[in-house]
């Protein structure tokens, strides 16, 4: 596996690869990321074998962090990340410095539409999806992948990226990979590392609250009425009573994340974000 930091070096290393399968990350990798890399590896092996290359980027993107968020303290663990990637089918790691990726302030930015980017995560993290779309678009231009793998844990991010690729006519296939969970059901996340032992034991309750909300919705199937707002509020209250500070637990349509109007026969998803102590966790469940 090769590790490169400069854009020009990346172009050299990737020259001639007939298929480039890309996994963008911010590092501090866990098994969820490694699943994404293994998926990229499998796609390359099945489609073109040795003629293709898998690429992971490691870059903590300042543009997607709010002023009071954890940009400065976000764990930078390059050496360990590279060892993990090498063991999970990665051919090339692209780990640019801020100067390489943003040699001057990034004046041009991609603004996803408000109805997709200013709801849910975007409502609580203003500018987050502008930062994500801008860096992912830039990384796509640099890596020039034919396919890219993103995790479904960041459900709204995956949808924003899919729409960006579609609207900007980027010739990239986007693959959404299932969320990897710990034994107790907690979705793996780099931010789980911030949790104390007691918080870690409690953390699964975000996914349990989402499951309970989905169960309430499924029970209402076939019935004329479901008070969606009341069901969402009850789910948030169940977390509050355990000491969480929920930002949202919300029932949405899978295809565009718009609110559900009842009765609903189409695929739905519940998404949630909540703070446990100082750590903000997100999760979702499709049904």
Residues at the site binding ligand PAF, with contacts judged by CB under 6 A:
24-26, 61, 64, 132, 135-136, 154, 157
Q: Residue 104: CB partners within 8 Å, gap ≥ 6?
A: none
Output the smallest distance, CB 63 to ligand PAF, in A. 8
Q: Which is nearer to ligand PAF, 130 or 136 (CB)?
A: 136
Length of the chain measured in residues = 287
Q: Which is nearer to ligand PAF, 25 or 216 (CB)?
A: 25
**Any bridge partners for residue 19, and if so which?**
52
Active site residue 5: no
Nearer to ligand PAF, 132 or 270 (CB): 132
Q: How far is the CB of 83 from ligand PAF (least distance, A)?
A: 19
Query: Minimum distance from CB of 84 to ligand PAF (Å)?
Result: 15
Give the pairing type, strands 268-276 and 279-286: antiparallel
Identity of the residue, 135 or 239, whose beta carbon is nearer to ligand PAF in the bound complex: 135
CA distance 3 to 64: 24
Per-residue CA distances from 164 to 109, 152, 167, 174, 233 (Å): 12, 16, 5, 11, 32
CA-CA-CA-CA dihedral for 37, 38, 39, 41, to nearest 10: 90
Contacts of 133 (CB under 8 A, 6+ apart): 109, 110, 111, 112, 117, 160, 161, 164
Burial of 242 (0-12, 13-18, 19+ CB in 10 A): middle
Min separation Cβ 24 and ligand PAF, Å: 4
Indicate which residue of 33, 88, 137, 205 is catalytic: 33
Question: What residues are labeled active site?
Answer: 33
């Amino acid at each position: 596996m090769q590790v490169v930091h400069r854009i020009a070096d990346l172009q050299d290393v990737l020259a001639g690869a007939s298929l480039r399968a890309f996994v963008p990350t911010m590092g501090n990798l866990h098994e969820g990321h490694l699943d994404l890399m293994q998926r990229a590896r499998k796609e390359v092996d099945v489609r073109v074998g040795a003629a293709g290359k898998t690429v992971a980027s490691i870059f903590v993107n300042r543009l997607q962090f709010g002023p009071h968020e954890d940009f400065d303290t976000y764990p930078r663990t390059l050496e360990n990340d590279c060892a993990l990637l090498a063991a999970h089918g990665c051919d090339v790691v692209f780990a640019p410095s801020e100067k390489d990726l943003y040699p001057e302030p990034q004046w041009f930015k991609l603004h996803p539409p408000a109805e997709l980017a200013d709801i849910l995560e975007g409502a609580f993290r203003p500018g987050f999806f502008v930062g994500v779309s801008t860096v992912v678009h830039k990384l796509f231009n640099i890596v020039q992948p034919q396919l890219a793998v993103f995790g479904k844990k960041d459900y709204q991010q995956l949808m924003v990226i899919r729409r960006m690729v579609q609207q900007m006519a980027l010739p990239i296939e986007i693959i959404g990979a299932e969320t990897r969970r710990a034994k107790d059901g907690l979705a793996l996340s780099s931010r789980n590392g911030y949790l104390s032992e007691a918080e870690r034991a409690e953390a699964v309750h975000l996914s349990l609250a989402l499951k309970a909300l989905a169960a309430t919705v499924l029970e209402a199937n076939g019935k004329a009425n479901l008070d969606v707002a009341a069901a969402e509020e009850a789910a948030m209250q169940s977390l509050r009573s355990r000491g969480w500070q929920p930002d949202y637990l919300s029932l949405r349509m899978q295809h565009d994340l718009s609110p559900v109007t009842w009765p609903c026969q189409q695929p739905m998803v519940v998404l949630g974000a909540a703070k446990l102590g100082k750590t903000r966790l997100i999760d979702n469940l499709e049904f």
